[in-house]
Amino acid sequence: MKKIMLVLTGITLIMNGISQPVPAGDENIPFLMTFGPRAGTSWGDDDFSQTFFFLIPKKFTQAIYIRVYDPDIGGQCDEINGLWDTKMTYSVYGGKDCYSVKDAQETQPQGNYKSGNLLATKSFVNQANYDENWYTFGPFNPSEGEYVSKWDAYIFKIICDGVAGDDGNLYRYYLSTMPNMNKPVEGANAFAYEYSFRMHDDPSEVSHIYPFVDDRTITVKLANFDWDSDGLIRTVSVARHGQLTKVSGEDVWIEDEFKIFDEEKNTSLDIQFIKKKNPPVRNNNVVVNVRNQYGELLPFYVIPIGGVPKPRPEIAVKKQTAH
Ligand SMILES: [Ca+2]
Ligand SMILES: [Ca+2]
Ligand SMILES: [Ca+2]
Ligand SMILES: [Ca+2]
């Protein structure tokens, strides 16, 4: 009964959230990041592709727009490698299978990851008119997404693929009810199974990712790529004050596996990325994913399910004395 209540609470909280930009406020991540396919992976992107899903509650029936900030690869925001010669394609998918196909929920751009109906697509290069500016996809009717009963919501998918060149594309998304401005969609959320992002340059800024731990999760494997030994990565939860995890250096993946406490089921973890002060690491691009004991990926919701987790003293103290 207790578990059922927790699951219901989680679903209710999705519906009560207000959609925000991607990345969202609690994450404190400056930009999403995708490189052109000719870049070495040492620049920080392991696969030159990033997939995000938008979740729109069924009861929301107005038109929606998916807006992209700084979709171009040039000028401000982006990371040059030699000359600006990079091309990126953004593609929006809906319809049956855009979410539910397994390849779409994996970390690599392989197999049928472009599943579903292609609703819109556009490519960008170095284009001053889109520099520090918005491009808007849509309007879409929410029912053009794939209906997924576990959320009672329609899901859309947007993929940013590096098509040519070797520069770094930095960008953000916003799910909006308006084509020319950012107006949130009530009750919406966004999530990814692998997060490729740019860290702040300011060492005092801490970035966060919030994987949701469902009640089938027994252990998790936290993987990070190309962290450049930039300080600490730690996990905070209802039962953890700040458990340090293994961190990657240049151009390598590293994994750390740990057990989930019962109290953490149906809550979010707060993975904190804490930069070192000296020497400061600039332009740090990182990739992160988290799997359970079945090898399934945990979703990172931009608005953490259940809110940002805080250690509950009664649980955290019990865990400390148990060790
Ligand atoms: Ca280049
Ligand atoms: Ca730009
Ligand atoms: Ca850009
Ligand atoms: Ca890096």
The pLDDT-based confidence of 313 (bands split at 50, 70, 90) is confident
Sign of CA dihedral 15, 21, 25, 28: positive
Dist. CA 186 → ligand 3 center (Å): 27
Dist. CA 30 → ligand 3 center (Å): 12
Dist. CA 68 → ligand 1 center (Å): 22
**Whole-number pLDDT of residue 6:** 45
Dist. CA 104 → ligand 4 center (Å): 25
Q: Output the average pLDDT for the chain.
A: 93
pLDDT, tens only, 34-75: 999 999 999 999 999 999 999 999 999 999 999 999 999 999
Buried b (16+ CB within 10 A) or exposed e, 7-34: eeebeebbbebebbbbbbebbebbbbbb
Cα–Cα dist 103/118, whole Å: 16
* In the predicted structure, residue 174 carries a pLDDT above the cut 70: yes
**Count of alpha carbons within 13 angstroms of residue 145, beta-carbon side:** 30
Q: Please tell me the total number of residues recorded for the chain in this structure.
A: 323
The ligand whose atoms approach the alpha carbon of 33 most closely is: 3
DSSP 262-315: GGGTTEE-EEEEE--SSSPP-S-EEEEEEEETTSPBPPEESS-TTSS----HHH
The ligand whose atoms approach the alpha carbon of 283 most closely is: 4
C-beta of residue 98 within 8 angstroms of C-beta of residue 104 = yes
Dist. CA 293 → ligand 4 center (Å): 27
Dist. CA 80 → ligand 1 center (Å): 6
* In the predicted structure, residue 321 carries a pLDDT above the cut 90: no
Determine the average pLDDT of the residues in 1-26. 58
The pLDDT-based confidence of 1 (bands split at 50, 70, 90) is very low
The pLDDT-based confidence of 196 (bands split at 50, 70, 90) is very high
The ligand whose atoms approach the alpha carbon of 226 most closely is: 4
The ligand whose atoms approach the alpha carbon of 80 most closely is: 1
* In the predicted structure, residue 234 carries a pLDDT above the cut 90: yes
Tokens 């995000």 locate to 52
If one counts every other C-beta atom within 10 angstroms of the C-beta of residue 315, the result is 17
The pLDDT-based confidence of 20 (bands split at 50, 70, 90) is confident
- Which segment of 25-34, 120-129, 137-146, 310-319 scores lowest on mean pLDDT? 310-319
What is the span of the domain harbouring residue 58? 2-322
Determine the average pLDDT of the residues in 202-222. 98
* In the predicted structure, residue 276 carries a pLDDT above the cut 50: yes
Cα–Cα dist 194/107, whole Å: 6
Dist. CA 170 → ligand 4 center (Å): 14
Dist. CA 77 → ligand 2 center (Å): 5
Dist. CA 281 → ligand 4 center (Å): 9
Q: How many whole angstroms from its chain centre is CA 120?
A: 21
pLDDT, tens only, 93-128: 999 999 999 999 999 999 999 999 999 999 999 999
Dist. CA 69 → ligand 2 center (Å): 9
Dist. CA 167 → ligand 4 center (Å): 14
Residue 125 has phi, psi (to 5 degrees) of -125, -145
The ligand whose atoms approach the alpha carbon of 127 most closely is: 2
The residues, any chain, with a CB within 8 Å of residue 161's CB and separated by 6 or more, are 34, 48, 49, 88, 89, 90, 91, 109
Dist. CA 29 → ligand 2 center (Å): 17
Dist. CA 75 → ligand 1 center (Å): 12
The ligand whose atoms approach the alpha carbon of 77 most closely is: 2
C-beta of residue 195 within 8 angstroms of C-beta of residue 209 = yes
The ligand whose atoms approach the alpha carbon of 37 most closely is: 1
**Whole-number pLDDT of residue 315:** 77
Strands 153-164 and 87-94: antiparallel
3-state secondary structure of 45: coil
The ligand whose atoms approach the alpha carbon of 128 most closely is: 2
Dist. CA 322 → ligand 4 center (Å): 36
- Report the predicted TM-score, pTM, of the whole model to 2 decimal places: 0.92
Q: For the chain, what is the domain count?
A: 1
Residues with CB under 5 A from ligand 1 (ion): 81-83, 85, 166-167
**Whole-number pLDDT of residue 261:** 97
**Whole-number pLDDT of residue 316:** 62
Determine the average pLDDT of the residues in 138-149. 98
* In the predicted structure, residue 219 carries a pLDDT above the cut 50: yes
Dist. CA 72 → ligand 2 center (Å): 5
The pLDDT-based confidence of 19 (bands split at 50, 70, 90) is low
